[in-house]
Amino acid sequence: MQKIFRIAGVLMSAATLLASSLHSSWGEDTVLALEAQSHSSPSKKDLSDPPMTVDDAVRIALEKNPNLISFKKTWIGTKDLEKTALAPADPLLQWEYGGGEQGNGQNVLANGSSFQGVQSVGLPYPNGSNWAIVQSFLFPGKALYGYKVNKDNTEIAYDSYRVQRVQLRNQTEMACYQWLLSRETLRLNDELQTWLRRVLEITKAKLSVGSVQILDVVNARVALSQARLDRLSARYQLEVAKKQLNTLLGFSMDRETRIAPVPDPDPLTVPMSELEARAIENRPDLLQARATVDLNRHQLTLAKLGFLPDYQLTGSEGGESCYGFSGLNCWYVGVQINVPIFAPIKQNLQYNSQAEMLRAADWQYRWQSAQVRLAVDNLYSQVVLAYRQYRMNADEILPQSRLAFELALTGYENQKNDFLYLINAVQAYRQAQYNRYQSLVAYYQAISNLEAAVGTPLGQIAGSTSHK
């Protein structure tokens, strides 16, 4: 009898130890303590690199990402070409040297009588030089609209750069949230293994006194092995998330980058109509489509101006109009006009083509505007849904799962329920913890997608609640 009492005492001590350890693990306030118990001590490198916030990660990505820098340089390079359309053409300068003669003809005396001598002999002129200058000009208005076309191209390049900024911000935030979810999955798995090991110890102790079957011990070992298997996947997902984040931040893929936990969210306070209006005004890809419409409109005007002639201003001293290289003080100025006689053969086709391009760009802008409104509407609903799911998981399901786990543990200690009931309660409680954190991450991901759809962080919109 004393031996049986000693075994029962050991069993009750193990159960008490399990209960106290599990009770101490409930709640947000003890997450860091559980993580310290579940993981090995951090390395010195981890201690030297404190966790960065999501905003810090976004700032680093916007500063160091090579793809974004490439788009920025393209925009700056395009901007430098704007005023080239206003630059005049280079003048054509001409200088020549030579001589000539008057040509054949009779020499006539002053009194009208003919000079009897050698007939039809050309009289030479002295050697001389001539110069000329030709300056070409476009018809008034062509250069101005060429400048407008260049500005439209600059605006399109700038909007492309802004599109990349919005996409990079969204990608970086999503990578941060994925890292947080992978980290939490790994932490919960380590915590689950701790629970299952202690459940296995208690089950072995109960088996020694014959209060459970050997099948319960086998099931406990299977559950523990499954948790270890799940840890391999969780560890791999964390490595993938880390490398993805480091790549976006411009770090080495092996760097131990850590992200600080996100706070408890607040409900979205900005009305959807305001977000739709802000998206139409500020979303960069929509601005790019609008700039494409302006570009095609200005190119259509240039096609109209193609029917009008260009011209050249000319000036010369000496030259053929002054009987060759005569050295005489002879000069002229004038204008030359390129008459577009054959321009309609191709210009009409260019004009019609450009008119169709303008219509296509306008229809494309209308379609993108409708898509933007639809995206904002859908993503706004996703944010509202994600917030409600988080509150339900955090305020209802998780506390109830914790209570069910406590009751299952007490019942297992008092032999009022079997082993499988306890295992199911443990796994359900762990799943409830995961669902709470997963819904938290899903809310922030929905906020990030909504900001990408609007083209502006919600914190920069008046009257909004800051979420980050």
Who wins on pLDDT, 260 or 420?
A: 260
Tens digits of per-residue pLDDT, 179-193?
A: 999 999 999 999 999
Res 11: pLDDT: 38
Res 110: pLDDT: 47
* C-alpha torsion angle, residues 279, 284, 287, 292 (rounded to 10): -150
- 254-259: average pLDDT: 91
Residue 129 has pLDDT above 50, yes or no: yes
Range among 25-29, 65-69, 85-89, 334-338 with highest mean pLDDT value: 65-69
Here the tokens at position 19 are 């209960």
Q: Does a structural domain hold residue 115? A: no
- Cβ-Cβ contacts under 8 Å for 426 (sequence gap 6 or more): 192, 195, 196, 199, 405, 408
Q: Does a structural domain hold residue 106? A: no
Number of H helices, E strands in the chain: 12, 4
Local confidence band at 123 (pLDDT 50, 70, 90 cut-offs): low
- 184-208: average pLDDT: 89
Res 314: pLDDT: 87
Res 126: pLDDT: 62
How would you class 224 by CB atoms within 10 Å of its CB: exposed for 0-12, middle for 13-18, buried for 19 or more? middle
What order of strands is seen across the sheet that includes strand 331-338? 92-98, 128-137, 310-317, 331-338
How many domains in the chain? 1
Query: Of 129-138, 221-230, 291-300, 324-333, which gets the smallest average pLDDT?
Result: 324-333
Q: Does a structural domain hold residue 39? A: yes
For the chain, the average pLDDT equals: 82
Enter the DSSP assignment of 415. T
Instruction: Give the residue from 234, 103, 220 showing the smallest Cα distance to 180.
Output: 234
Residue 118 has pLDDT above 60, yes or no: no
The CA radius of gyration of the chain, in Å to the nearest whole number, is 42
Segments in 99-141 forming alpha helices (H):
none
- 3-12: average pLDDT: 40
- 242-246: average pLDDT: 94
Tens digits of per-residue pLDDT, 70-107?
A: 999 999 999 988 888 888 889 888 887 766 555 554 54
Local confidence band at 14 (pLDDT 50, 70, 90 cut-offs): very low
Residue 324 has pLDDT above 80, yes or no: no
**Domain range for 206:** 2-101+122-460
Question: What's the rounded Cα separation, in Å, for the pair 229 and 234?
Answer: 9
CB 95 within 8 A of CB 131: yes
Who wins on pLDDT, 460 or 341?
A: 341
Tens digits of per-residue pLDDT, 422-464?
A: 888 998 999 999 999 999 999 999 999 999 999 988 876 644 5
Q: Does a structural domain hold residue 50? A: yes
Q: Does a structural domain hold residue 271? A: yes
Please say whether the dihedral angle defined by the alpha carbons of residues 107, 109, 112 and 114, taken in this order, is positive or negative: negative
Question: What's the rounded Cα separation, in Å, for the pair 305 and 146?
Answer: 11
Res 461: pLDDT: 65
How many other CB atoms are there within 10 angstroms of residue 70's CB atom? 12
Q: Does a structural domain hold residue 111? A: no
| Residues above pLDDT 70, as percent of the chain | 79
Q: Which residues pair with 337 in a beta bridge?
A: 311
Query: Of 100-104, 236-240, 303-307, which gets the smallest average pLDDT?
Result: 100-104
CATH of the domain at 445: 1.20.1600.10
Q: Does a structural domain hold residue 263? A: yes
Tens digits of per-residue pLDDT, 132-147?
A: 889 988 888 899 999 9
Residue 414 has pLDDT above 90, yes or no: no
Who wins on pLDDT, 396 or 106?
A: 396
Q: Does a structural domain hold residue 109? A: no
* C-alpha torsion angle, residues 343, 345, 347, 351 (rounded to 10): 160
Residue 44 has pLDDT above 70, yes or no: no
Local confidence band at 210 (pLDDT 50, 70, 90 cut-offs): confident
In order of 77, 138, 188, 427, the CA distances from 231 in angstroms are 50, 73, 9, 14
- Cβ-Cβ contacts under 8 Å for 45 (sequence gap 6 or more): 256
Who wins on pLDDT, 159 or 33?
A: 159
For Cα atoms 98, 103, 106, give the angle at the middle one, nearest 5 degrees.
150
Local confidence band at 5 (pLDDT 50, 70, 90 cut-offs): very low
Residue 15 has pLDDT above 70, yes or no: no
Local confidence band at 208 (pLDDT 50, 70, 90 cut-offs): confident
| Residues above pLDDT 90, as percent of the chain | 49
Local confidence band at 40 (pLDDT 50, 70, 90 cut-offs): very low
Residues listed for the chain: 468
Local confidence band at 9 (pLDDT 50, 70, 90 cut-offs): very low
Question: What's the rounded Cα separation, in Å, for the pair 277 and 22?
Answer: 51
